[in-house]
Amino acid sequence: MRKVKNSIKKMMTLCLAAIMTLAMATTAFAADRIKTGNLTVNVNEGNTLKGQTIKVYKLFDLSVSDTHYAYTVNADYKNAIATALGLSKEATSEQLYNKLAEYKENPSGIQKFANDFTAAALKAGTAETGTSKKLGEVTEYKFENLDYGYYLVYQTGTKEIQSSLVSVDDVDVTVNLKGQAPSIDKTANATTVEIGQVVTYTIKGTIPDTTGYDKYTYKIHDTLTEGLDFVKDAVGTAQEGTSYNVSVKIGEGQAETKAATLSGENNRIMTLDLSEWIRNNQNSKGQEFTVTYYAKVNADAVVQTNNSAHLEYGNDPDNITTTTPDVVTTPTYPVQIHKLIKDQQNSYLAGAIFRLYRSEEDANNNQNAIAVTGSNGTYTVDPEQVGDNKMYDMESIGDGTTVGTGMNLKLNGLAEGSYWLVETQAPDGYNKLTAPVKITITKSDTTNVNDWTIKQNDGVVDDKIIDIENTTGTLLPETGGMGTVIFTVIAVVMILGIAVSFVISRRKRA
């Protein structure tokens, strides 16, 4: 009996050992079959992933043996894959694979499948295999330890759906995104401006794809500097109130009026909420749209006059993405004058009166002078050049600090171009200029707006202060007065005196 029991124990021990060996072998086999890899997702050139979310969907499982690959459809996405491929939901895994394989030489076909699957998944609320969550200012994201498979990669919030497809079949795999995040581009119809000029601003954007989003925010913000004011139209009609109309159109279509809101100091901040308009125009997603509006240059304009626009967008009200501001600079320039006595650099002559003209012909004929406002050596271009009681004369003062260091006359608010300065009246005791002085202003050709230049009669003025010298002299000879008569009389008297003295002397000797 004891022998039987011992035999049974030995058999059970052997069976248990065999079971453990088989289990270990099965685990090792499974581990060898189910492999994982890392997937690095790179944003396309010139963009970042700020505010974006990357989602991946494993469409097919993949097993690899040397150069042999076996794909099996993921049951979670089978119906959506079949629909996107135009096949029935009863299609087998092999049929789905074969249909996709047909797109190997058809890039547009495979891209359409990827986009159609994405749109269907978003509308249906289909769960993704993995997600990056909302990203910061990065250009790549790595999904780690993904099971081998055929993955669709989707970037949220792009201008249009542009999903990517990639097989994770190695330790490290990379895919480059195709989508672009929403952005805006702002331009002006002038690169330099004059006070009183109306500038037309244009913002271009692309209608983003909001497929699958219950909510979507799309707001354009524009902030003007002190040298600009929003106006209603291209002729400069003054804006009243905080409701501000702008023009919006898609492509070359019909423009429509949308109401923006003005706020901030002197209503120089504009907010244009296009959220509902974007959702209502999804049939035009991916197309360019244009926003047009106007601003007038005022007397506070300077060389650094600019305004900046940025976009606020996103499908999550609590996690809205703000783009980097797009700054448009429309500088205006001064003419700075040092009126001095010739050969006395530290002198400042008061009382010289000047006018500025836009052409040499006007300067020579004293017509169409630039109207100005101001006094005490400091003047600005009059925003309204036409009208009664306009002022054209600018008068220098007697020191080099009140107007600005090293100058005693300044006119602000000129655009790039050539001008002619005429001295219409010289200070008492000095000779005025006999010909107009040509002044040429050239905008900066670098990103630094302060690199502008000014020339005086074609010579560059390094310190940007134009020296205007006056000369003085002694009185010239006159006619009709005493002239030389007095000297003749004196000479005659002296000669007579000498003659009389000579005669008296001769008589005494006789």
Q: What is the DSSP string of 326-379?
A: EEEE---EEEEEEEEETTBTT------EEEEESSHHHHHHT-SPPPEEEETTEE
The pLDDT value recorded for residue 30 is 42
94 and 217 in a single domain? The answer is no
pLDDT of 393 strictly over 90: yes
The pLDDT value recorded for residue 307 is 87
The pLDDT value recorded for residue 425 is 95
197 and 157 in a single domain? The answer is no
Give the DSSP per-residue string, 115-165: HHHHHHHHHHTPPPSEEEEE--S-SEEEEEEEESEEEEEEETT-SS---EE
427 and 309 in a single domain? The answer is no
CATH of the domain at 397: 2.60.40.10
Average pLDDT over residues 60-84: 94
164 and 203 in a single domain? The answer is no
Q: Which residue has the tokens 């036409």?
A: 386
Q: For residue 109, tell me if it sits in a domain.
A: yes
The pLDDT value recorded for residue 4 is 46
Average pLDDT over residues 383-387: 92
By CB atoms closer than 10 A (0-12, 13-18, 19+), residue 412 is buried
pLDDT of 452 strictly over 60: yes
Measuring CA to CA, which residue among 333, 416, 339 is closest to residue 381?
333
- In the chain, the number of structural domains is 3
The pLDDT value recorded for residue 26 is 39
Cβ neighbours, 10 Å, residue 130: 16
Average pLDDT over residues 160-186: 91
- The band of 19, judged by pLDDT with boundaries at 50, 70 and 90, is very low
340 and 211 in a single domain? The answer is no
Q: For residue 78, tell me if it sits in a domain.
A: yes
Mean pLDDT of the chain: 87
**317-372: pLDDT as tens digits:** 777 888 888 899 999 999 999 999 999 999 999 999 999 999 999 999 999 999 99
Find the angle CA(308)-CA(291)-CA(255) to the nearest 5 degrees: 170
189 and 321 in a single domain? The answer is yes
Q: For residue 494, tell me if it sits in a domain.
A: no
95, 96, 99, 112, 247 from 86: Cα distances, Å: 12, 10, 9, 11, 42
Q: For residue 479, tell me if it sits in a domain.
A: no
**29-64: pLDDT as tens digits:** 444 456 999 999 998 877 788 878 899 999 999 999
Please list, in sequence order, all residues whose beta carbon lies within 8 angstroms of the beta carbon of residue 6, skipping any fewer than 6 positions away: none
Domain end point (choices 470, 486, 501): 470
pLDDT of 133 strictly over 90: no
Domain end point (choices 296, 329, 362): 329
Give the pair of three-digit tokens for residue 176. Answer: 């480059």
325 and 340 in a single domain? The answer is no
256 and 358 in a single domain? The answer is no
104, 334, 425 from 340: Cα distances, Å: 81, 19, 14
- The band of 161, judged by pLDDT with boundaries at 50, 70 and 90, is confident
Round to the nearest angstrom and report the end-to-end CA distance of the chain.
Answer: 203
Q: For residue 480, tell me if it sits in a domain.
A: no
pLDDT of 510 strictly over 60: no
- The band of 24, judged by pLDDT with boundaries at 50, 70 and 90, is very low
The pLDDT value recorded for residue 21 is 43
Q: For residue 131, tell me if it sits in a domain.
A: yes
Task: Report whether 420 contacts 360 (CB < 8 A).
Answer: yes
193 and 309 in a single domain? The answer is yes
pLDDT of 252 strictly over 90: yes
CATH of the domain at 226: 2.60.40.740
Percentage of the chain with pLDDT > 70?
A: 86
Please list, in sequence order, all residues whose beta carbon lies within 8 angstroms of the beta carbon of residue 365, skipping any fewer than 6 positions away: none
The pLDDT value recorded for residue 66 is 86
The pLDDT value recorded for residue 195 is 96
108 and 240 in a single domain? The answer is no
Range of the domain at 115: 36-176
Q: For residue 504, tell me if it sits in a domain.
A: no
pLDDT of 17 strictly over 90: no
The pLDDT value recorded for residue 505 is 59
The pLDDT value recorded for residue 31 is 42
How far does Cα 244 stand from its chain's mean position? 22
Q: For residue 229, tell me if it sits in a domain.
A: yes
**208-236: pLDDT as tens digits:** 988 877 788 999 999 999 999 999 999 99
325 and 203 in a single domain? The answer is yes
Give 44's DSSP letter. P
Domain end point (choices 265, 295, 329): 329
Average pLDDT over residues 456-480: 82
423 and 438 in a single domain? The answer is yes
Task: Report whether 372 contacts 392 (CB < 8 A).
Answer: yes
pLDDT of 23 strictly over 90: no
**281-331: pLDDT as tens digits:** 999 988 999 999 999 999 999 888 888 999 999 877 777 888 888 899 999
Q: Higher model confidence: residue 174 or residue 472?
A: 174
Average pLDDT over residues 113-124: 91
